Amino acid sequence: MNRKLIFDEDLLIGQLKEGNSNAFKQVFKLYHKDLCNYIQAISGNAKLAEDIAQQTFIKLWDNRENLNLQEGKLKQYIFRIAYNQFVDTKRKKKKEFELLENLKHAAYLDLVDTDASLFEEKLKMVEQEIENLPEQCKKVFIMSKKEGLKYQEISDRLHISIKTVEVHMAKALKRLRAQLTIFF
Protein backbone atom coordinates (compact mmCIF):
# COMPACT_ATOMS: atom_id res chain seq x y z
CA MET A 1 0.00 0.00 0.00
CA ASN A 2 1.16 3.49 -0.79
CA ARG A 3 2.68 5.19 2.25
CA LYS A 4 1.05 8.52 1.34
CA LEU A 5 -2.41 6.86 1.35
CA ILE A 6 -1.74 5.41 4.81
CA PHE A 7 -0.67 8.81 6.06
CA ASP A 8 -3.77 10.43 4.55
CA GLU A 9 -5.95 7.73 6.08
CA ASP A 10 -4.31 8.24 9.46
CA LEU A 11 -4.93 11.96 9.08
CA LEU A 12 -8.57 11.28 8.19
CA ILE A 13 -8.97 9.06 11.25
CA GLY A 14 -7.50 11.76 13.48
CA GLN A 15 -9.83 14.37 11.98
CA LEU A 16 -12.79 11.99 12.31
CA LYS A 17 -12.00 11.51 15.99
CA GLU A 18 -12.12 15.29 16.39
CA GLY A 19 -15.57 15.41 14.72
CA ASN A 20 -14.45 16.99 11.45
CA SER A 21 -17.44 16.63 9.10
CA ASN A 22 -15.29 17.25 6.00
CA ALA A 23 -13.13 14.26 6.93
CA PHE A 24 -16.28 12.20 7.33
CA LYS A 25 -17.53 13.31 3.90
CA GLN A 26 -14.19 12.31 2.39
CA VAL A 27 -14.35 8.85 4.01
CA PHE A 28 -17.91 8.52 2.76
CA LYS A 29 -16.86 9.43 -0.80
CA LEU A 30 -13.91 7.03 -0.64
CA TYR A 31 -15.78 3.94 0.54
CA HIS A 32 -19.53 4.31 0.04
CA LYS A 33 -19.74 2.89 -3.49
CA ASP A 34 -17.41 -0.04 -2.75
CA LEU A 35 -19.32 -0.74 0.47
CA CYS A 36 -22.68 -0.81 -1.35
CA ASN A 37 -21.26 -3.16 -3.97
CA TYR A 38 -19.85 -5.45 -1.27
CA ILE A 39 -23.12 -5.67 0.67
CA GLN A 40 -25.12 -6.12 -2.53
CA ALA A 41 -22.82 -8.97 -3.51
CA ILE A 42 -23.43 -10.82 -0.24
CA SER A 43 -27.13 -9.94 0.10
CA GLY A 44 -28.33 -9.83 -3.50
CA ASN A 45 -30.42 -6.77 -2.62
CA ALA A 46 -29.47 -3.25 -3.74
CA LYS A 47 -31.92 -1.49 -1.40
CA LEU A 48 -30.71 -3.48 1.59
CA ALA A 49 -27.11 -2.72 0.60
CA GLU A 50 -27.84 1.01 0.55
CA ASP A 51 -29.61 0.84 3.92
CA ILE A 52 -26.74 -1.07 5.52
CA ALA A 53 -24.19 1.33 4.04
CA GLN A 54 -26.08 4.25 5.57
CA GLN A 55 -26.28 2.47 8.94
CA THR A 56 -22.57 1.71 8.73
CA PHE A 57 -21.58 5.33 8.20
CA ILE A 58 -23.91 6.45 10.97
CA LYS A 59 -22.29 3.94 13.30
CA LEU A 60 -18.83 5.10 12.18
CA TRP A 61 -19.75 8.70 12.99
CA ASP A 62 -21.34 7.77 16.33
CA ASN A 63 -18.22 5.82 17.38
CA ARG A 64 -15.66 8.18 15.84
CA GLU A 65 -14.19 9.28 19.17
CA ASN A 66 -13.26 5.69 20.02
CA LEU A 67 -11.52 4.86 16.72
CA ASN A 68 -8.29 3.05 17.45
CA LEU A 69 -7.10 1.57 14.16
CA GLN A 70 -3.79 0.38 12.83
CA GLU A 71 -2.37 2.09 9.80
CA GLY A 72 -4.37 1.45 6.64
CA LYS A 73 -7.19 -0.43 8.40
CA LEU A 74 -10.04 2.09 8.05
CA LYS A 75 -11.57 0.38 5.01
CA GLN A 76 -11.45 -3.02 6.75
CA TYR A 77 -13.04 -1.49 9.82
CA ILE A 78 -15.89 0.04 7.80
CA PHE A 79 -16.50 -3.18 5.89
CA ARG A 80 -16.52 -5.17 9.16
CA ILE A 81 -19.17 -2.82 10.59
CA ALA A 82 -21.24 -3.31 7.43
CA TYR A 83 -20.88 -7.09 7.54
CA ASN A 84 -21.98 -7.15 11.18
CA GLN A 85 -24.94 -4.91 10.32
CA PHE A 86 -25.88 -7.34 7.53
CA VAL A 87 -25.70 -10.33 9.89
CA ASP A 88 -27.78 -8.48 12.50
CA THR A 89 -30.39 -7.62 9.85
CA LYS A 90 -30.58 -11.27 8.76
CA ARG A 91 -30.96 -12.45 12.35
CA LYS A 92 -33.70 -9.89 13.00
CA LYS A 93 -35.59 -10.93 9.85
CA LYS A 94 -35.24 -14.58 10.80
CA LYS A 95 -36.64 -13.88 14.28
CA GLU A 96 -39.52 -11.87 12.79
CA PHE A 97 -40.25 -14.70 10.34
CA GLU A 98 -40.18 -17.28 13.14
CA LEU A 99 -42.48 -15.12 15.26
CA LEU A 100 -44.95 -14.78 12.39
CA GLU A 101 -44.81 -18.52 11.73
CA ASN A 102 -45.44 -19.24 15.42
CA LEU A 103 -48.40 -16.84 15.47
CA LYS A 104 -49.79 -18.40 12.31
CA HIS A 105 -49.35 -21.89 13.76
CA ALA A 106 -51.11 -20.84 16.98
CA ALA A 107 -53.98 -19.37 14.98
CA TYR A 108 -54.36 -22.62 13.04
CA LEU A 109 -54.37 -24.59 16.28
CA ASP A 110 -57.07 -22.30 17.65
CA LEU A 111 -59.16 -22.98 14.57
CA VAL A 112 -58.64 -26.73 14.88
CA ASP A 113 -59.35 -26.68 18.60
CA THR A 114 -62.61 -24.79 18.18
CA ASP A 115 -65.22 -26.94 19.80
CA ALA A 116 -67.13 -28.79 17.07
CA SER A 117 -70.18 -28.96 19.29
CA LEU A 118 -70.20 -25.15 19.53
CA PHE A 119 -70.19 -24.97 15.75
CA GLU A 120 -73.02 -27.50 15.54
CA GLU A 121 -74.98 -25.56 18.16
CA LYS A 122 -74.65 -22.35 16.15
CA LEU A 123 -75.68 -24.18 12.99
CA LYS A 124 -78.81 -25.49 14.74
CA MET A 125 -79.63 -21.94 15.86
CA VAL A 126 -79.38 -20.70 12.28
CA GLU A 127 -81.58 -23.55 11.01
CA GLN A 128 -84.12 -22.88 13.78
CA GLU A 129 -84.31 -19.19 12.88
CA ILE A 130 -84.80 -20.06 9.22
CA GLU A 131 -87.68 -22.35 10.25
CA ASN A 132 -89.22 -19.46 12.23
CA LEU A 133 -89.37 -17.21 9.14
CA PRO A 134 -92.81 -16.59 7.62
CA GLU A 135 -93.63 -19.32 5.08
CA GLN A 136 -93.17 -17.32 1.84
CA CYS A 137 -90.07 -15.62 3.24
CA LYS A 138 -88.60 -19.01 4.17
CA LYS A 139 -89.29 -20.45 0.69
CA VAL A 140 -87.58 -17.50 -1.02
CA PHE A 141 -84.60 -17.61 1.35
CA ILE A 142 -84.09 -21.39 0.95
CA MET A 143 -84.43 -21.23 -2.84
CA SER A 144 -81.88 -18.42 -2.99
CA LYS A 145 -79.33 -19.47 -0.39
CA LYS A 146 -79.57 -23.25 -0.26
CA GLU A 147 -80.58 -24.04 -3.84
CA GLY A 148 -78.62 -21.15 -5.37
CA LEU A 149 -81.45 -19.92 -7.57
CA LYS A 150 -81.47 -16.42 -9.01
CA TYR A 151 -84.25 -14.01 -8.16
CA GLN A 152 -85.76 -14.41 -11.65
CA GLU A 153 -85.89 -18.22 -11.24
CA ILE A 154 -87.51 -17.87 -7.81
CA SER A 155 -90.01 -15.41 -9.27
CA ASP A 156 -90.93 -17.85 -12.05
CA ARG A 157 -91.28 -20.86 -9.72
CA LEU A 158 -93.36 -19.10 -7.07
CA HIS A 159 -95.33 -16.97 -9.57
CA ILE A 160 -94.43 -13.72 -7.80
CA SER A 161 -92.68 -10.59 -9.05
CA ILE A 162 -88.92 -10.12 -8.75
CA LYS A 163 -89.62 -7.12 -6.52
CA THR A 164 -91.57 -9.39 -4.16
CA VAL A 165 -88.65 -11.84 -4.12
CA GLU A 166 -86.32 -8.95 -3.20
CA VAL A 167 -88.66 -7.82 -0.41
CA HIS A 168 -88.87 -11.35 1.03
CA MET A 169 -85.06 -11.75 0.90
CA ALA A 170 -84.50 -8.40 2.58
CA LYS A 171 -87.05 -9.28 5.27
CA ALA A 172 -85.47 -12.73 5.84
CA LEU A 173 -81.92 -11.38 6.06
CA LYS A 174 -82.96 -8.54 8.36
CA ARG A 175 -84.77 -10.90 10.69
CA LEU A 176 -81.94 -13.48 10.71
CA ARG A 177 -79.34 -10.82 11.44
CA ALA A 178 -81.42 -9.40 14.27
CA GLN A 179 -82.08 -12.82 15.82
CA LEU A 180 -78.59 -14.29 15.38
CA THR A 181 -76.34 -11.38 16.32
CA ILE A 182 -76.93 -12.11 19.99
CA PHE A 183 -75.48 -15.61 19.48
CA PHE A 184 -72.41 -14.72 17.39
pLDDT tens-digit series, residues 134-177: 999 999 998 998 888 999 999 999 999 999 999 999 998 888 88
The pTM assigned to this predicted structure is 0.52
Structural domains in the chain, CATH included, are 3-83 (1.10.1740.10), 116-180 (1.10.10.10)
Q: What CA–CA distance (Å, rounded) separates 36 from 52?
A: 8
Query: How far is Cα 15 from Cα 27, in angstroms, rounded to an integer?
Result: 11
The mean per-residue pLDDT over the stretch 50-64 comes to 91
Q: What is the DSSP letter of 183?
A: T
Instruction: Identify the band that residue 98 occupies on the pLDDT scale cut at 50, 70 and 90.
Output: confident
Yes or no: say if 75 and 35 are a contact pair by the CB < 8 Å rule.
Answer: no
Would you say residue 8 has pLDDT above 80? no
Range of weakest confidence among 7-21, 98-112, 128-142: 98-112
Report the candidate in 38, 46, 43 with the shortest Cα–Cα distance to residue 90: 43
Q: What b/e readout covers 99-115, taking b as 16+ CB neighbours within 10 angstroms?
A: eeeeeeeeeeeeeeeee
- The answer to whether the beta carbons of residues 78 and 29 sit under 8 Å apart is no
